[in-house]
Amino acid sequence: MKKIMMMFVASVVLLLTACSGDAQEKLYVYNVGEYIDREVLKMFEEEFNCKVVYELYDSNETMYQKIKAGGTNYDVAFPSDYMVEKMIKEGLVLPLDYSKIPNFQYISDEYKNLPYDPENLYTVPYFWGTVGILYDTTVVDEPVDSWSILWDEKYKGNIFMYDSQRDSLMVALKLLGYSMNTQNVEELEEAKQLLIEQRPLVYAYVTDQVIDNMIAGNAALAVVYSGDATYIMDENEDMEYVIPKEGSNMWVDAMVIPSTAQNVDLAHEFINFMQRPDIAQMNTEYVMYSTPNTEVLANVSEDEWTQNEAYSPSQELLDSLPMETFRDPGEFIKEYDDIWTQVLAASKR
């Protein structure tokens, strides 16, 4: 989720009020940052004579912990693939009634029956993308096709890494030829050592700060989510994006109905509304992340901002690379947590 958290303000709840009526139904929606066109929410309110209570979270883990703890009444949430899998295992999401989501017909088959929801019982894909390297073509004058460039002494102090446990370890694991879902402690140790060795070259570990910094040309190389890359390239024509030859994370964020939802029928209406082609197009044009909606893809495929490897990687390219989707590691997450803690501790020295 993969993935965009611009302008996130902790513990902010935004109440978007419809134009008429005081006793409307309420729909509680839980999402990350600027990951939706707010006009879409207003349109839903007007069309369904309801009030959308839109609350923000900063990570999948924050969202999971809050829903797991109980006492919430979110009707729709937007977890990433590995977190969907975890929530399904723990009974934290409800099966969907797809007869109430006819716009599911517009979802490309490539984004159905994925490993986190193999029978398509619980989810409707929202956005998808990859993780790759964004680079400044005025500074980097050599071919960029491997994660190894992030270990090149020539770019010391000119590299942004992503401040994310799974994504940063993914970079090192892929470079080593391992699965980013490994449950081999020795492989994780190798990845840890590689990241520790890289640390003197890294300017900073960042999240959404990478956007403004790369638009301004403040670094030569950055690990970024593809949607952020699309936006940055639209703002700075010197930037290019590549998915390294060792492969990467191909992620999917989905819409689900938490098991504690109080307005299940309206939640189905909302999920269906979000994949209505005109609404899905508004969203992708605002967020600039790749849509799984086939009708929308046909409409935006000629737009200049979509003509790049970030928004529109060819299926041939994706098939040629060892791409993976994050899986829930279960109890083994403790090993990932421990390794990441050691990486961050070493980074401070």
Give pLDDT tens digits for 195-206.
Answer: 999 999 999 999
17 has pLDDT over 70? no
Q: Residue 193 pLDDT more than 70?
A: yes
List Cβ neighbours of 281 (8 Å cut-off, separation of 6 or more): 291, 293, 296, 299, 300
Q: Are 123 and 96 in contact (CB under 8 A)?
A: yes
Specify the pLDDT at position 33: 79
CA 92 to chain centre: 20
Is the pLDDT assigned to residue 15 strictly greater than 60? no
Which whole number is the average pLDDT over 215-242?
Answer: 97
The pLDDT value given to residue 349: 54
Percent of the chain topping pLDDT 70: 93
What average pLDDT is seen over the chain?
A: 92
pTM: 0.90
Predicted local confidence at residue 248, as pLDDT: 98
Predicted pLDDT of residue 34: 80
Section 290-302 average pLDDT: 95
Compute the average pLDDT of residues 251-257.
98
- On the question of pLDDT at 6 being above 90, the answer is no
The tokens 């009020």 sit on which residue? 17
Residues 6+ apart with CB under 8 A from 254: 78, 79, 80, 81, 84, 116, 117, 123, 124, 125, 126
Per-residue pLDDT, averaged over 314-326, amounts to 95
Asked if 116 and 81 count as a contact pair (C-beta separation under 8 A), the reply is: yes
β-pair type (50-57, 13-16): antiparallel
State the pLDDT at residue 346.
84
User: 208: alpha, beta or left, given left = phi > 0 and alpha = psi -120 to 50?
Assistant: alpha
Does residue 3 carry a pLDDT above 60? no
